[in-house]
C-alpha cells in the first residue's frame, strides 16, 4: 500500500471551503493516496501552524484568505508568477526541506474565464474589485491577455494604487477607490473582495456594467453571492461565481504536488450539480 501523504488548506474563515472535497475527487480520479483537510488558522498563528504541519510530515499546503501575503514571506523560494504577485497560495516541501511557494490563482481564473466560460479579454475594459492576495495573483495573467484597460478599485484606495503601480510595465492599469468609478463602464467586472463572505456588496455605481458585460465573483457558495445577484439584476451576459476558478487553481496545485493534471470539467460539473440539489 502507498503511504498516505498529508495536505491541507489554511485560512480564516475556512468552514465554507470546498478544497478538501475537490482534492479528494482529484485523488480518487488519479489514484493518489492523499489526505487533505481544512484548518482554521488566523494570521497570528500562521507561521507556527506552517512549521508544525511540515515538521509532522505534511507535504503541501494551500493558503487562502487572509494568508497569501504571509505565505509569500514564509516561502524559501518561489515561482516567477508568485514572486511577481507577492502572494502565495500553494506551498510544497522539497527534498532538501526548503519550502517552495507558488501562486495558482491567476492560471485558475484564466482557465475558467477563457476555456470554461468563453469570456474574451483582449481589448476589453476590465474592473477588478479588491486589492488583497487574490487580486495580486490574477493581475499578471489578466494583463497577459491584453485587455484595453484594467482598473483596480478597493475600499482602501491607496492599496489599489500601490498594487497597480507594481504592474504598470505590463499594460494600461490604474488603482482607485470605489467612489472614483462614477461614469465608467466595464465589459468584465471581477469581484476579488472578501465582501461576499459576509454576503455584502462593494459600493458600485449602478450603471458601471457595460451592455453585454460579464460579472465574475471569485468567491463562491451554495447560493448565488450578493455580487452574482447584482450582475443578474443588471442583465449581465454571464454572472457567475468562482467555483470553476477554485477547481482550476486546485488542479494546478495538485500538479505541483503530485506531477499529475486531473480532469477539471467532471469535478466542476459534480460540484455544480451538488449545489443545485442543495438550493
Region for residue 126 given its phi and psi (left: phi exceeds 0; alpha: psi -120 to 50; beta: otherwise): beta
Q: For residue 11, give the C-alpha cell.
A: 485560512
Q: For residue 250, give the C-alpha cell.
A: 486546485
Q: Cell 465574475 appears where? A: 216
Note whether 272 binds ligand NDP by CB under 6 A: no
Q: By rule CB under 6 A, what string of x and - marks binding of each residue 56-95 to ligand NDP?
A: ---------xx-x---------------------------
Note whether 38 binds ligand NDP by CB under 6 A: no
Contact 269, 76 (CB under 8 A): no
At its nearest, how many Å lie between ligand NDP and the CB of residue 138?
Answer: 8
Note whether 52 binds ligand NDP by CB under 6 A: no
User: Please, which residue, 193 or 264, has the CB nearer to ligand NDP?
Assistant: 193
Residues 128-157 that bind ligand NDP (CB under 6 A): 130-135, 154-156
Q: By rule CB under 6 A, what string of x and - marks binding of each residue 210-249 to ligand NDP?
A: --------xxx---------------------x--xx--x
Of the candidates 257, 271, 249, the residue with the CA atom closest to the CA atom of residue 110: 249
Of the candidates 173, 117, 107, the residue with the CA atom closest to the CA atom of residue 141: 107
Note whether 196 binds ligand NDP by CB under 6 A: yes
149-153 β-sheet, strand order: 173-176, 149-153, 125-129, 186-191, 209-217, 238-240
User: Please, which residue, 42 or 57, has the CB nearer to ligand NDP?
Assistant: 42
Size of the site for ligand NDP (CB under 6 A): 30
Stretch that binds ligand NDP, among 71-79, 141-149, 189-197, 251-259 (CB under 6 A): 189-197
Q: Return the bridge partners of 35, or none.
A: 6
Residue 68 among the catalytic residues: yes
90-93 β-sheet, strand order: 34-40, 5-11, 60-63, 90-93, 99-102, 77-78
Q: Cell 449545489 appears where? A: 275
Stretch that binds ligand NDP, among 73-81, 118-126, 195-203, 258-266 (CB under 6 A): 195-203
User: Please, which residue, 148 or 229, has the CB nearer to ligand NDP?
Assistant: 229
At its nearest, how many Å lie between ligand NDP and the CB of residue 56?
Answer: 25
Annotated active-site residue in 18, 68, 148, 159: 68
At its nearest, how many Å lie between ligand NDP and the CB of residue 141?
Answer: 13
- Cα–Cα dist 236/64, whole Å: 28
CB environment 146-171: b (16+ within 10 A), e (fewer): ebeebbbbbbebebbbebbebbeeeb
Question: Which of the residues are catalytic?
Answer: 68
Q: State the residues that interact with ligand NDP by CB under 6 A.
A: 65-66, 68, 105, 108, 130-135, 154-156, 159, 192-197, 200, 202, 218-220, 242, 245-246, 249
Amino acid at each position: 500500500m502507498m503511504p498516505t501523504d498529508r495536505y491541507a488548506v489554511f485560512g480564516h474563515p475556512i468552514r465554507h471551503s470546498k478544497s478538501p472535497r475537490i482534492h479528494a475527487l482529484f485523488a480518487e480520479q488519479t489514484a493518489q493516496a492523499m489526505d487533505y483537510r481544512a484548518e482554521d488558522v488566523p494570521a497570528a498563528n500562521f507561521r507556527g501552524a506552517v512549521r508544525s504541519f511540515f515538521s509532522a510530515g505534511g507535504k503541501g499546503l494551500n493558503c487562502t484568505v487572509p494568508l497569501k501575503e504571509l505565505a509569500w514571506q514564509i516561502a524559501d523560494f518561489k515561482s516567477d508568477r508568485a514572486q511577481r504577485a507577492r502572494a502565495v497560495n500553494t506551498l510544497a516541501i522539497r527534498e532538501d526541506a526548503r519550502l517552495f511557494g507558488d501562486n495558482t490563482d491567476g492560471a485558475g481564473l484564466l482557465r475558467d474565464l477563457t476555456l470554461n466560460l468563453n469570456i474574451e479579454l483582449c481589448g476589453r475594459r476590465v474592473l477588478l474589485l479588491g486589492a488583497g492576495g487574490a487580486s495580486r495573483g490574477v493581475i499578471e495573467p489578466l494583463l497577459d491577455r491584453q485587455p484595453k484597460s484594467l482598473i483596480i478599485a478597493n475600499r482602501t484606495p491607496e492599496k489599489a494604487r500601490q498594487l497597480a503601480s507594481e504592474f504598470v510595465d505590463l499594460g494600461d492599469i490604474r488603482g482607485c477607490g470605489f467612489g472614483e468609478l462614477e461614469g465608467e463602464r466595464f465589459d468584465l467586472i471581477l469581484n476579488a473582495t472578501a465582501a461576499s463572505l459576509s454576503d455584502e456588496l462593494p459600493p458600485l455605481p449602478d450603471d458601471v456594467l457595460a451592455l453585454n458585460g460579464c460579472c465574475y465573483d471569485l468567491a463562491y457558495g451554495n447560493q448565488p453571492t450578493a455580487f452574482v445577484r447584482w450582475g443578474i439584476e443588471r442583465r449581465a451576459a454571464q454572472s457567475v461565481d468562482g467555483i470553476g476558478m477554485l477547481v482550476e487553481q486546485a488542479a494546478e496545485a495538485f500538479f505541483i504536488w503530485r506531477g499529475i493534471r486531473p480532469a477539471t470539467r467532471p469535478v466542476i460539473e459534480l460540484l455544480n450539480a451538488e449545489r443545485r440539489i442543495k438550493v
